C-alpha cells in the first residue's frame, strides 16, 4: 500500500479539485439539461485548466482528477472525460491536433469517440460503417451508423472508426476526425438511464479525405485500442470516486439515523456493510493507482493491470452504491437524492470502454501469454 501513497502535493491538488467541483462546477451541472452537452460546464473546466490536464498530465494525474471530480460532481467528471476520450487520438496527427486540441481544452469544441455500432459493441473489430472510395477519386464516403455515442448528436467533432477494407477484420479499419457540420452527417438523442448525453450518429455518403485520417489507413483499430488503454484505468478512478461518495453518504447516515433505539452504525449488519464498502473501495483505488503507474512507466502487463483496475473498480462501485441505498432505505430512491443519481450513473461504466466480461477475457488471456 505504501508504494501507492499520494504525496502531500497530490493530496493538496485533489482537495483543490474537489473544492472546485463542489463550489463552481456543481451549480453549473445542476443548471444544465440532463442528456444534453453542458457547454457552460465545459467552459468552466477549461478555465480551471482541468481539460488541459487530459493531454498534458500522466495517467495517474488523470486518475486523480477523475476520482476527485466524481466524488463531488459526476456531471463534471463525465464532461471532462468525454473530451479526453473524443480527442486524445488526435495527438497522433500533428495537423489535426493543432486544429482541434486548443478548442477542446478551452471547452469551445465538444469531442466524441464514435466506435460502437448497433452490431459491433464489445466486438469492436466487427464494425461495418463503410468508408468507400470517392467516385471522383481521392478520399472516401462514409455510409452507416454509430450508436450509443457519448456527446452525440451535440458534438462538434467525431473521432470515428470506419471500414476501409471489407472482410479484413481489425486490419481493415481506419480512424477519421470528422467535423459534425459535414454534409450527410446527422444524429438523434437517445433517452438512456445514464444522465449524460448519448446518441446515434448517421452517415449518408459523408466525404472524408486524407487530411481527416488519424494515423494510417487500415491501422485505425490500433488507434482505438491505444485510446481505450489510456483511459481504461481512469474509468476505474471514476468508479472509485462514486464508490467513495456512496461510502461517505452511508457513513454519515448511519451515524445520524436512529433505529430500534440506537444509531444505525451500532447494528452489526450495517457496520459490516460499511466495512465491506470501505475495504473494496480502498482495494479498487490501489488497483487503479497501480495500473496508472504501470502505464506511465511503460511496464509490461499494462493491459492486464488496466483490465483488473477497470473490472474491480466498476464492480465495486456498483456494490457500494447499492449497499448505500440499502442502508438509507426509501429516501435514497427519491428523485434528486445523491444516491438516486449515483444509482443511475454507476451502471454504465460496467459496459462502456470494454464490458466487465471483456475485461475478464483480457485478464484470462494474459494469464496464459
Strand partners for 173: 163, 219
Say whether 225 sits in a helix, a strand or coil: helix
- Spatial contact of 80 and 45, defined as CB atoms under 8 Å apart: yes
- Give the cell for residue 10: 497530490
State how far the Cα of 358 lies from the Cα of 96, in Å rounded to an integer: 31
Reference 88, options 133, 51, 37, 36; nearest CA is 51
Give yes or no: 77 in active site.
Answer: no
State how far the Cα of 25 lies from the Cα of 78, in Å rounded to an integer: 12
Pick the catalytic residue from 216, 353, 357, 366. 353
Alpha-carbon separation of residue 291 from 1, 75, 135, 288, 361 (angstroms): 13, 24, 47, 5, 17
Rg of the chain in Å (alpha carbons): 21
Tell me, rounded to whole angstroms, the distance of Cα 246 from its chain centroid. 19
Q: Which residue bears the cell 466525404?
A: 207
Reference 338, options 249, 257, 251, 241; nearest CA is 249
Reference 141, options 209, 213, 237; nearest CA is 209
User: How would you classify residue 137: left for phi > 0, otherwise alpha for psi between -120 and 50, otherwise beta?
Assistant: left
Which residues make Cβ contacts (< 8 Å) with residue 343, sequence separation at least 6?
321, 322, 325, 332, 333
Reference 271, options 259, 286, 284; nearest CA is 259
**What is the set of active-site residues?**
353
Amino acid at each position: 500500500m505504501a508504494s501507492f501513497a499520494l504525496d502531500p502535493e497530490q493530496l493538496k491538488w485533489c482537495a483543490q479539485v474537489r473544492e472546485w467541483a463542489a463550489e463552481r462546477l456543481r451549480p453549473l451541472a445542476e443548471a444544465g439539461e440532463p442528456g444534453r452537452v453542458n457547454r457552460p460546464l465545459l467552459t468552466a473546466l477549461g478555465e480551471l485548466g482541468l481539460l488541459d490536464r487530459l493531454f498534458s498530465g500522466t495517467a495517474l494525474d488523470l486518475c486523480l482528477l477523475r476520482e476527485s471530480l466524481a466524488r463531488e460532481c459526476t456531471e463534471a467528471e463525465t464532461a471532462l472525460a468525454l473530451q479526453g476520450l473524443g480527442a486524445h487520438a488526435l495527438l497522433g496527427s500533428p495537423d489535426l491536433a493543432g486544429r482541434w486540441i486548443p478548442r477542446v481544452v478551452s471547452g469551445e469544441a465538444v469531442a466524441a469517440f464514435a466506435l460502437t455500432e448497433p452490431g459491433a459493441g464489445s466486438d469492436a473489430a466487427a464494425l461495418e460503417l463503410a468508408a468507400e472510395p470517392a467516385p471522383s477519386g481521392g478520399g472516401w464516403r462514409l455510409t452507416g451508423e454509430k450508436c450509443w455515442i457519448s456527446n452525440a448528436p451535440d458534438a462538434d467533432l467525431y473521432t470515428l472508426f470506419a471500414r476501409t477494407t471489407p472482410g479484413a477484420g481489425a486490419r481493415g479499419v481506419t480512424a477519421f476526425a470528422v467535423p459534425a457540420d459535414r454534409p450527410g452527417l446527422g444524429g438523434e438523442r437517445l433517452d438512456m438511464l445514464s444522465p449524460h448525453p448519448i446518441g446515434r450518429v448517421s452517415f449518408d455518403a459523408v466525404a472524408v479525405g486524407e487530411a481527416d485520417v488519424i494515423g494510417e489507413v487500415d491501422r485505425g483499430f490500433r488507434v482505438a485500442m491505444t485510446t481505450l488503454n489510456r483511459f481504461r484505468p481512469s474509468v476505474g478512478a471514476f468508479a472509485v470516486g462514486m464508490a467513495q461518495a456512496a461510502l461517505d453518504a452511508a457513513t454519515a447516515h448511519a451515524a445520524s439515523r436512529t433505529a430500534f433505539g440506537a444509531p444505525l452504525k451500532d447494528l452489526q449488519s450495517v457496520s459490516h456493510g460499511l466495512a465491506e464498502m470501505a475495504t473494496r473501495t480502498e482495494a479498487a483505488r490501489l488497483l487503479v493507482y497501480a495500473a496508472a503507474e504501470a502505464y506511465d512507466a511503460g511496464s509490461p502487463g499494462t493491459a492486464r493491470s488496466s483490465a483488473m483496475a477497470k473490472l474491480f473498480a466498476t464492480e465495486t462501485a456498483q456494490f457500494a452504491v447499492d449497499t448505500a441505498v440499502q442502508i438509507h432505505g426509501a429516501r435514497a430512491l427519491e428523485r434528486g437524492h445523491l444516491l438516486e443519481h449515483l444509482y443511475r450513473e454507476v451502471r454504465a461504466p460496467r459496459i462502456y470502454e470494454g464490458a466487465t466480461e471483456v475485461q475478464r477475457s483480457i485478464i484470462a488471456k494474459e494469464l496464459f501469454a
